[in-house]
Amino acid sequence: MKLLIADDHDLVRDAIAALLRNGGCEEVVTAGNFDDAFKMVREQGDIDLVLLDYDMPGMHGLKGLADMRRNYPALPVAIISGMAKPSVAREAIDHGAIGFVPKTLPAKSIIGAVTLMASGAVFAPFEFIKQEATPEIGGLTQREIAVLRGICEGKTNKEIARELDLQEVTVKLHVRTLCRKIDARNRTQAAMIAR
């Protein structure tokens, strides 16, 4: 299997390439921008899977994906990103991407995702894709809403952390963020606003 990873951050690109080589990918080639990636696909012709960074020079969001798919419709192309939102992941798949790989995935998951996509299956991590902002509640994420529910039920941060399988410090951060988003001064006011 021959992979092409296109990412403008040298460290990230080299780390993912090394990870995939160590994970059993026979050949991994790299490019630092979309134009170089497009040129490599054209010149090499034997690439089995392309991973394009969503936010790199020449990509222009999903326009790069569209250009690659239009010119090489049989080539599996996936989007990788450390910043894109779940809506971008869904849109990429709707526009023909074979998958969406968050750079925050654990190493084994990245290897598994690449193997899956190279075999022709679509990959998108469910937990990432299902994240949604809920405009009716101040644009809170699903996790922040879960924390807010715990607050409304009168639970302590420790109890919420145990219930959601999080660290207590993570719950504190969520409380601080959700209070800021809904313009609450404290937990009590956050619960009153939520109710």
CA 173 to centroid of chain Cα atoms? 21
Backbone angles phi, psi at 141, to 5 degrees: -75, 170
CATH 1.10.10.10 fits 135-194, yes or no: yes
Give the mean model confidence (pLDDT) for residues 113-135. 78
Number of other residues whose CB lies within 10 A of the CB of residue 115: 17
Residue range 90-108, pLDDT digits in tens: 889 988 999 999 888 888 8
User: Which part of the chain has CATH 1.10.10.10?
Assistant: 135-194
Please tell me the predicted confidence (pLDDT) of residue 181.
86
Phi and psi for 53 in degrees, rounded to 5?
A: -70, 130
Q: Which residues contact 159 (CB under 8 A, 6 or more apart)?
A: 150
* 119 pLDDT more than 50: yes
pLDDT at site 99: 94
Do residues 54 and 79 lie in contact, with contact meaning Cβ atoms separated by under 8 Å?
yes
Question: Is a pLDDT exceeding 60 seen at residue 135?
Answer: no
The pLDDT value given to residue 15: 92
Number of Cβ atoms within 10 Å of the Cβ of 77? 28
Q: Please state, in angstroms and as integers, the Cα–Cα distance from residue 151 to each residue in 159, 163, 184, following that order.
A: 10, 12, 13
Instruction: Please state, in angstroms and rounded to a whole number, the distance separating the CA atoms of residues 188 and 107.
Output: 40
* Average pLDDT over all residues of the chain: 89
Determine whether domain 2-129 maps to CATH 3.40.640.10: no
* Residues 132, 163: Cα–Cα separation, whole Å: 21
Coil/strand/helix, residue 106: coil
Q: Could you give the CA distance from residue 64 to residue 71 in angstroms, rounded to a whole number?
A: 11
118: left (phi over 0), alpha (psi -120 to 50) or beta: alpha
So what's the pLDDT on residue 133?
Answer: 44
DSSP code of residue 6: E
pLDDT on residue 117: 94
| Per-residue pLDDT tens over the stretch 154-172 | 999 999 999 988 888 889 9
- Per-residue pLDDT reduced to its tens digit, 30-40: 999 999 999 99
Give the percent of the chain with pLDDT over 70: 95
Q: Where in the chain is the domain with CATH 3.40.50.2300?
A: 2-129
